Structure 1
Amino acid sequence: MISSLSPAQDVARQLHDAHEQIKEKTLTHRRFKHQDIVPLLQALNQPLSVSQVGESLEKRPIYQVKAGSGPTNVLLWSQMHGDEATATMALFDIFNFLQAKNDGFDTFRQAILTKTTLHFVPMLNPDGAERFQRRTATDIDMNRDALRLQTPEGAILKNLQQTLKPLVGFNLHDQNPRYSVGKTGKQAVVSFLATAFDEDRNINEVRQRSMQLIVGMNRVLQQFVPGQIARYDDEFEPRAFGDNIQKWGTTLILVESGGFNGDSEKMTIRRLNFVAILSALKAIADETYRQEETAAYQAIPENGRLLFDVLIRNATVMREGHPVLVDVGINHNEVNDKAAKTFSYKSSVEDIGDLSTFYGLEEIDATGLMLAPAYQYSDTLDTVSELAKLDLIALRQQGVLVFPVRKAQADTFPTQPVHVLYDGELPAQPLQLEQIPTFLLKKGDQIHYRFVNGFWKENPDTLQNGVID
């Protein structure tokens, strides 16, 4: 059977399929820290070399990984924002790929290594990664520091761009997982941007190259996540590194890793980064990107903001004795634990009303159902640990989801799907903006859905953490 894929798409499919064997297997979640990647960097072998290019405000070394001997310099950096780690994982997968031999990709790999010289900076913001926060230890957003250069990490990045003068730079980020592809209900799994270099968003040769490379990256990814690639808004931001690096003469490709439903640790998008970046590096090496039309870049839909994590449609609530039909948008918000290696969810009611033009990653049609307060346990427990003495499964079936406790710590998260109250009662109304979404959906006396902290599924394997309020 003759393949209908282009050569680049065909190789991308092979890379995608091989990723499981190639990937760096010690990186299994997004909240790794600087100390976790240092041994991996120290273990790298030819054709890769590692050098220190500076240090963070808190004296953590910032490293550069170099590969290749070609005349075209390419600069790639990840985790400029400390809590955006998807591409860092992909870069370590690429390091493994570049060190491999006799795996069917030797010709592909050698084309990149002989025609380009690659300069990688994984984890540009190690202090932010330590806390799993966006900003550096200066409390400055590094991506708004391209002019003043008050962050040492930002100064390192500008120095690399000015001294290496790379033809192409890859600015690797994560974006809000609730972006939609245009006005569709599809989640933007990956978004690209050819950043503007001036207020008028003009297109010169440097920016045109960005667009052409993104067209190729979009094409290879569409076969894995069809209709789920978007384009970031290109409004000029005069303080941002992406816009300025484009202005300074380096073709800039912004890659934003969004969300993939059911994959909170972004392992699927990590694989897509691996495929897209390697495909682009091959296009740079062979200059095949020159064949692409910029109109195909403009045809990629822009990011929209039309998604909630959960959208309940057509629920009825009582207001002053009158039934009111509403939709309810709920988002699950990640909260780091103290060590920032794991997280729990604290959900929120984001919007109420007519949300017919929005979508949910998960949706419930509540037509004919009344949204009512969850039932509260009749006694007040001394501590959260006393929950273990109760038959929570039976109580849940009865709609008893809320448990008063005398001694508890706010913003902590029981492993059981319960809503713990330690300070006062639930609001009189069953539904308010910014409320933690714990309630019932009923028809008469029959309970159809039991929501705790925005989650409702009954399967023990899919029940999420509770919350202390």
Structure 2
Amino acid sequence: MKKLQLLPIFFLLFSFGLSAQQEFYKELYEKYPDYKEEEINQRRFTHELVVDLISKQEKNSDFRINKVGESIEGRSLNLLSIGSGETDVLLWSQMHGDESTATMALFDIFNFLNSADFKAEKEAMLKEVTLHFLPMLNPDGAEKFQRRNALGVDVNRDALRLQSPESKTLKRVRDSLDADFGFNLHDQSRYYNAEGTEKPATISYLAPAYDYEKSINEVRGNAMKLIVLMNNVIQNYAPGQVGRYNDDFEPRAFGDNIQKWGTSTILIESGGYPDDPEKQEIRKLNFVSILAAVFAIAEDDYKSVNIEEYENIPQNDSKLYDLKLTGVTYELLGNDYILDLGINHSQVPGDTPQEYSYRAYVADRGDLSTNYAYNSKDLSGYKLISGKVYPENLKDMKEVEELDFKDLLEQGYAYIPVGDLPEKENFTDYPINLVSPDFKVSDKISHSFFLGKDEEVEYAVINGFLVKIGEELSAVKNALIFK
């Protein structure tokens, strides 16, 4: 009878504790602008900037900064440690050079640790854990904003052979710390959605398997519990936008092996978020998610989590497009067909890591009723109309500047012939494609066309960007140049 009387008290205290934690995480989220590292505001940045930002952490004597290795091309790999607790937590980012969201978030976390805010909470946390950060593990790949390192090797598939110095460094650091927890920080395709929903998998988690049977021991189980906790936090800020990454065992991968070597490993994948091409909102979610996990480790909060809730997180699916046009009428060989069109944009690097342009492509067509998009438009009853080439050949770009682009689109022109096109440029900031005088429009569905009813054009699609005729053309981020 006494045990029964104690139960309500226990649950009341437990509930109060969870409520207090959620309030703390809410404060972190709301105060995030105070900690955001303003030196980084784009996904493409160099190792030189990272080194400069790391050097600034020396102002905080609690940080211990050590060079722990070099990349193939001689760029430094640096470990930042802080805290005095017996529980070691290792966080590494950007082992794929073009997956930089979490690297940004780590510098936001450094600013948080350096701030005067939440002093008591931070001191208590750092007495229980020691944090070790290894930002930008693949600086050579980051320099070119590419997945692989200078050897052309996927660092995340080199955990066994250890041919790359970056791989050797991560293995050596993990082993020397015998880390209790590890955070493997990545980016994933923006076209992943949370299974069965139209919402993007903005954040996806995984407790990697350590064998083909996907067994669950205490090490992996602790990772699962932490993920449940992080998911519960992120649902407050991106409801329905969390996925669970595929857990098929990959014997060459670091996450799977680090789990196998005894470190509870959590994979965090940063996906897509509406109107967030530079992943600044996702960066914020990383900041909150990682700190929530670290505080939960320090306070042992994860231990009381129901591990079965891990399986309730929807799996990643891949059914998103940038633009989905539904019910378009398309004429082919004298017959009309009804098509849905799924259009995506690839990002093409520019002259510097900070520059890029968009190139659209039709990812799929047909019945796309089970697919979703960031931007969807029902165009039932609208007919697809090929874009026309402007009948006058312009001399150079100066003449292009004088054009009325709204008027041209109203007339159904998608291509402007120009005699003297820029030699080395394939993209234009104008909301219409520029072409050489001998250009011919393809009879296939491509990146640029019009949609109309009753012989009147109402919508234009220019390089995969949908605009309503007569309205502002700012939705066209860039168009294409064909020589």
Instruction: Give your verdict on TM over 0.5.
Output: yes
The reply on whether 1:11 has 2:21 as its aligned counterpart is no
Superposed, which structure 2 residues align to 1:444-459 within 5 Å?
A: 444-457=454-467, 458-459=471-472
Query: In structure 1, what is the Cα distance between the partners aligned to 2:295 and 2:283?
Result: 19
Aligned partner of residue 152 in structure 2, secondary structure: coil
The reply on whether 1:344 has 2:357 as its aligned counterpart is yes
Aligned partner of residue 31 in structure 2, secondary structure: helix
Question: Are the counterparts in 1 of residues 389 and 441 from structure 2 also a CA contact under 8 Å?
Answer: no
The reply on whether 1:427 has 2:442 as its aligned counterpart is yes
Q: Which runs of 5+ in 2 are unaligned?
A: 1-14
Superposed, which structure 2 residues align to 1:124-135 within 5 Å?
A: 124-135=137-148
The reply on whether 1:68 has 2:78 as its aligned counterpart is no
1:277-315 Cα distance to aligned partner (Å, 9 max, x none): 001001111111000111101110000111111000000
**Percent sequence identity over aligned pairs:** 44
Q: Residue 192 of structure 1: CA displacement? A: 0.1
Question: Are the counterparts in 2 of residues 330 and 454 from structure 1 also a CA contact under 8 Å?
Answer: yes
Query: In structure 1, what is the Cα distance between the partners aligned to 2:230 and 2:164?
Result: 31
Match of 2:453 in 1: 443
Superposed, which structure 2 residues align to 1:51-62 within 5 Å?
A: 51-62=66-77
Task: Give the aligned residue type for 1:236.
Answer: F
Q: Which runs of 5+ in 1 are unaligned?
A: none
Q: Residue 394 of structure 1: CA displacement? A: 1.8
Cα 1:367/1:5, change in 2 over 3 Å: farther
1:411-454 Cα distance to aligned partner (Å, 9 max, x none): 7210111122336312124x1xxx3x100001122111111100
Q: Residue 407 of structure 1: CA displacement? A: 4.7
Query: In structure 1, what is the Cα distance between the partners aligned to 2:16 and 2:359?
Result: 47
Question: Are the counterparts in 2 of residues 48 and 99 from structure 1 also a CA contact under 8 Å?
Answer: no
Question: Are the counterparts in 2 of residues 344 and 465 from structure 1 also a CA contact under 8 Å?
Answer: yes
Cα 1:370/1:126, change in 2 over 3 Å: same
Q: Residue 4 of structure 1: CA displacement? A: 11
Question: Are the counterparts in 2 of residues 47 and 99 from structure 1 also a CA contact under 8 Å?
Answer: no
Match of 2:97 in 1: 82
Query: In structure 2, what is the Cα distance between the partners aligned to 1:223 and 1:86?
Result: 20
Question: Are the counterparts in 2 of residues 411 and 467 from structure 1 also a CA contact under 8 Å?
Answer: no
Task: Give the aligned residue type for 2:461.
Answer: F
Aligned partner of residue 162 in structure 2, secondary structure: coil
Query: In structure 2, what is the Cα distance between the partners aligned to 1:448 and 1:5?
Result: 53
Query: In structure 2, what is the Cα distance between the partners aligned to 1:16 and 1:357?
Result: 34
Aligned partner of residue 160 in structure 1, secondary structure: helix
The reply on whether 1:415 has 2:429 as its aligned counterpart is yes
Cα 1:15/1:180, change in 2 over 3 Å: same
Match of 1:364 in 2: 377
Aligned partner of residue 11 in structure 1, secondary structure: helix
Query: In structure 2, what is the Cα distance between the partners aligned to 1:40 and 1:46?
Result: 15
Superposed, which structure 2 residues align to 1:22-171 within 5 Å?
A: 22-44=35-57, 45-101=60-116, 103=117, 105-171=118-184
Task: Give the aligned residue type for 1:146.
Answer: A
Segment of structure 1 superposing worse, 395-404 or 285-294: 395-404
Q: How many residues align?
A: 461
Question: 4+ residue runs of structure 1 moved beyond 6 angstroms?
Answer: 2-5
Superposed, which structure 2 residues align to 1:377-416 within 5 Å?
A: 377-408=390-421, 409=423, 412-416=426-430
Query: In structure 2, what is the Cα distance between the partners aligned to 1:191 and 1:182?
Result: 11
Question: Are the counterparts in 2 of residues 370 and 441 from structure 1 also a CA contact under 8 Å?
Answer: yes
Query: In structure 1, what is the Cα distance between the partners aligned to 2:426 and 2:335?
Result: 36
Q: Residue 8 of structure 1: CA displacement? A: 2.2
The reply on whether 1:254 has 2:254 as its aligned counterpart is no
Cα 1:251/1:3, change in 2 over 3 Å: closer
Task: Give the aligned residue type for 1:358.
Answer: N
The reply on whether 1:239 has 2:227 as its aligned counterpart is no
Question: Are the counterparts in 2 of residues 410 and 468 from structure 1 also a CA contact under 8 Å?
Answer: no
The reply on whether 1:331 has 2:344 as its aligned counterpart is yes
Max radius of gyration: which structure?
2
Superposed, which structure 2 residues align to 1:260-271 within 5 Å?
A: 260-271=273-284
Q: Residue 126 of structure 1: CA displacement? A: 0.6
1:105-162 Cα distance to aligned partner (Å, 9 max, x none): 1222112211111110111111111101111111111111111111110110011111
Match of 1:466 in 2: 479
Question: Are the counterparts in 2 of residues 9 and 219 from structure 1 also a CA contact under 8 Å?
Answer: no
Query: In structure 2, what is the Cα distance between the partners aligned to 1:20 and 1:48?
Result: 22
Question: Are the counterparts in 2 of residues 212 and 293 from structure 1 also a CA contact under 8 Å?
Answer: yes
Query: In structure 1, what is the Cα distance between the partners aligned to 2:83 and 2:161?
Result: 33
Query: In structure 2, what is the Cα distance between the partners aligned to 1:412 and 1:312?
Result: 26
1:243-278 Cα distance to aligned partner (Å, 9 max, x none): 011011111100000111101111111111110100
Query: In structure 2, what is the Cα distance between the partners aligned to 1:106 and 1:148?
Result: 44
Task: Give the aligned residue type for 1:279.
Answer: A
Q: Residue 410 of structure 1: CA displacement? A: 7.5
Task: Give the aligned residue type for 1:456.
Answer: L
Aligned partner of residue 381 in structure 1, secondary structure: coil
Cα 1:6/1:54, change in 2 over 3 Å: same
